[in-house]
Amino acid sequence: MTSSLVFPSTAKKRIIGHIKGEQPGPTLVFFGGIHGNEPSGVEALQLVFKRLEQTSLPLKGDMYGIQGNIPALLKKQRYLTQDLNRLWFKSHITTLLNIKDSEKTSEELQLLEILETIQKILADQEGPFYFIDFHTTSSQTLPFITINDAMINRKFSRCFPVPIILGIEEYLEGPLLSYVNEMGYVSLGFESGQHDSEIARENSIAFIWLSMVFSGMTTREAIPEFDMYYKQLWTSAGANRNFYEVTTRHAIGLGDSFKMEPGFKSFQAVKRHTLLAHHNDQPVYMGQKGMLFMPLYQQQGAEGFFIIRRIPKILLRLSTILRKVKTDRLLTLLPGVSWEDHKKERLMVNIRVARFYSKAVFHLLGYRNRTLDKSHLLINNREKTAKNSMYKEASWF
């Protein structure tokens, strides 16, 4: 698909809706359809904006709904050329801004339109900003939240009665929300259910209304169905409000064949040695007892499945305390650990020494996003860029 067919035809359709309140307040930015075979978020936003236009709720601030990969949505495919949710690298964006449209893929053109929309919203509004990306999965699942592990993300996510997944950014390169989170804003992904299911759309609708209340855009009393929406998510999630972290990713290479064995679903406990899939005609077994997460039941995708484990509450509390007193300053006293530069935003860790340190130690202090070179780990701390002061007046902070 050439740029002359894609770029001009989608720009006007990008904004699903925009509602402006009568008073200043938060700015909520929802994304739907970043993957073209996941329309539930788009449909939910369309329905909510339609209702908002027909009612007169007391609102503060602004709310936007943004469509993601429009050409892929029209073809009901995850993507046409590239996964739009794996392209959000600053270096890649810089390159795109300096080449002709004719040299860009369909997804790269979509990225630039979305980026322009985000930049305009940030320029027009004062915040505090909330970025929420709707997704669905190819397998059955409880609804859940995924976040980059900054405390502002944790605190806001705790408002919702669904499980929360930490650490997936270690295993995914270039997602939209990681790009937004690096700017310091609250950002979370909401996986509402299985593709094309009615419950996925209903869960997304409930999540939008709850987000409006928890962010302070409106009040609980202004939405008569608030308790119904809350109960809906609570019931859909099976009363599961635990935190989990990703421990394993089964990657699928370009051109590989992968077929998951039937019947698996997210959050399913699986015994060791259970046959999970066939990858390039070779059997894939569960290496150790654990919990399966997002098994792949679609043709497109670079992850066959993940393995997750529940994070004990005591570790979450310890993590909060250690970050509050900035214990990470002491990490450079460990052999093989040093700051990358004077900004003290990223740590360089010597791999030969790092193998003796538990990865959990770095996780406790907020270091998760890792880039590996030949001799070192380069790890980022989300707390360094988090705009905490922007959210200090929020009820959840």
CATH number at 261 reads 2.40.50
- How high is the pLDDT of residue 369? 62
3-state secondary structure of 365: coil
Q: Are residues 17 and 103 in the same domain?
A: yes
Tokens of 51: 């209702």
Same domain for 122 and 193? Answer: yes
pLDDT over 60 (residue 4): no
CB atoms within 10 A of CB 385: 14
Q: Tell me whether residue 241 is in a domain.
A: no
User: Per the structure block, which two tokens stand in for 74?
Assistant: 């029209």
Judge whether 396 lies within some domain: no
Q: Are residues 356 and 266 in the same domain?
A: no
> Does 227 fall in a domain?
yes
Q: Indicate if 50 and 102 belong to the same structural domain.
A: yes
Q: Which domain range does residue 287 map to?
A: 248-310
The last residue of one of the domains, among 211, 236, 261, is 236
38 and 99 together in one domain: yes
Distance between CA atoms of 321 and 314, rounded to whole angstroms? 11
Is residue 8 predicted with pLDDT exceeding 80? no
Does one domain contain both 320 and 306? no
Domain-ending residue, one of 271, 288, 310: 310
197 & 303 share domain? no
Residue 364 in domain: yes
Instruction: Give the pLDDT band (50/70/90) at residue 237.
Output: very high
Contact present, 132 and 191 (Cβ < 8 Å): no
CATH of the domain at 195: 3.40.630.10
Within 10 A of 342 (CB to CB), how many other CB atoms are there? 6
Residue 207 — pLDDT band, cuts 50, 70, 90? very high
pLDDT tier, 325 (very low <50, low <70, confident <90, very high otherwise) = confident
Question: 204 CB contacts (<8 Å, ≥6 apart)?
Answer: 32, 40, 41, 43, 44, 45, 134, 190, 192
> Does residue 199 register a pLDDT over 70?
yes
Residue 343 DSSP label: T
Mean pLDDT in residue range 37-60? 95
- How many CA atoms within 13 Å lie on the side-chain side of 291? 15
Percent of the chain with pLDDT over 70: 93
Domain assignment of residue 79, yes or no? yes
What pLDDT does 359 receive? 66
The fraction of the chain above a pLDDT of 90, given in percent, is 73
- pTM summary value: 0.91
Residues 186 and 152 sit within 8 Å (Cβ to Cβ): yes
- Average pLDDT of the segment spanning 266-284: 96
Answer yes or no: is pLDDT of 255 > 70.
yes
Q: Which residues of 126-138 are buried (b: 16+ CB within 10 A; e: fewer)?
A: ebbbbbbbbbbbb
Q: What is the pLDDT of residues 288-311, one digit of tens each?
A: 888 999 999 999 999 999 999 999
358 within some domain: yes
Task: Give pLDDT, residue 168.
Answer: 86
Place of tokens 């320029």: 123
Q: Give the model confidence (pLDDT) of 116-133 as tens digits.
A: 999 999 999 998 999 999
pLDDT of the residue at 371: 63
User: Quick one: 147 and 259 in the same domain?
Assistant: no
Assess whether 268 and 345 both reside in one domain. Answer: no
Give me the number of domains the chain comprises. Answer: 3
Give the residue with greater pLDDT, 3 vs 138: 138
Tens digits of residue pLDDT in 345-388: 778 888 777 665 656 677 777 777 666 666 777 777 778 889 99
3-class DSSP state of 187 = strand
Q: Hey, which bits of the chain come out as E strands?
A: 15-20, 23-32, 60-67, 129-137, 144-147, 164-166, 186-194, 243-251, 258-260, 268-270, 275-279, 282-285, 290-293, 303-310, 337-339, 346-350, 367-372, 376-381
For position 5, what pLDDT does the model report? 30
393 assigned to some structural domain: no
Same domain, 323 and 254: no
Lowest mean pLDDT among 272-276, 313-317, 324-328, 367-371: 367-371
* Mean pLDDT, residues 261-267 taken together: 96
Confidence band, pLDDT 50/70/90 cuts, at residue 46: very high
Reported as a pLDDT band with limits 50, 70 and 90, residue 171 is: confident
Q: Which pLDDT score is estimated for 295?
A: 96
Name the average pLDDT for the chain.
90
Q: What's residue 42's pLDDT?
A: 97
Residue 90 falls within a domain, yes or no?
yes
**pLDDT value at position 373?**
64
* End residue of a domain, out of 294, 310, 326: 310
Please list the residues that pair with 18 across neighbouring strands.
64
Q: Are residues 151 and 81 in the same domain?
A: yes
Say yes or no: 291 and 306 in one domain.
Answer: yes
